[in-house]
Amino acid sequence: EVQLVESGGGLVQPGGSLRLSCAASDFTLSSSWMNWVRQAPGKGLEWVANINQDGSEKYSVDSVKGRFTISRDNAKNSLYLQMHSLRAEDTAVYYCVLGRKHGWLLDYWGQGTLVTVSS
Partner 1 sequence: DIVMTQSPDSLAVSLGERATINCKSSQSVLYSSNNKNFLAWYQQKPGQPPKLLIYWASNRDSGVPDRFSGSGSGADFTLTISGLQAEDVAVYYCQQYYSTPLTFGGGTKVEIK
Q: Report the interface residues with partner 1, using CB under 8 A.
A: 35, 44-47, 50, 59-62, 95, 101-102, 104-112
Q: Which is nearer to partner 1, 11 or 45 (CB)?
A: 45
Q: Which amino acid is residue 111, in one-letter code?
A: Q
User: Which pairing describes strands 68-73 and 78-83: parallel, antiparallel, or unpaired?
Assistant: antiparallel
Which CB sits closer to partner 1, 50 or 78? Answer: 50
Smaller CB separation from partner 1, 28 or 44? 44
User: Shortest distance, CB of residue 14 to partner 1, whole angstroms?
Assistant: 24
The CB-of-72 to partner 1 minimum distance in angstroms stands at 17
User: Toward partner 1, which CB reaches closer, 79 or 112?
Assistant: 112
Supply the minimum distance, in Å, between the C-beta of residue 75 and partner 1: 26
DSSP summary character for residue 102: S
Nearest CA-CA partner of 7 in 20, 26, 24: 20
> Which of 59-63's residues contact partners 24+ apart within 8 Å by CB, and which partners?
63/89
| Alpha-carbon gap, residue 99 to 16, rounded angstroms | 30
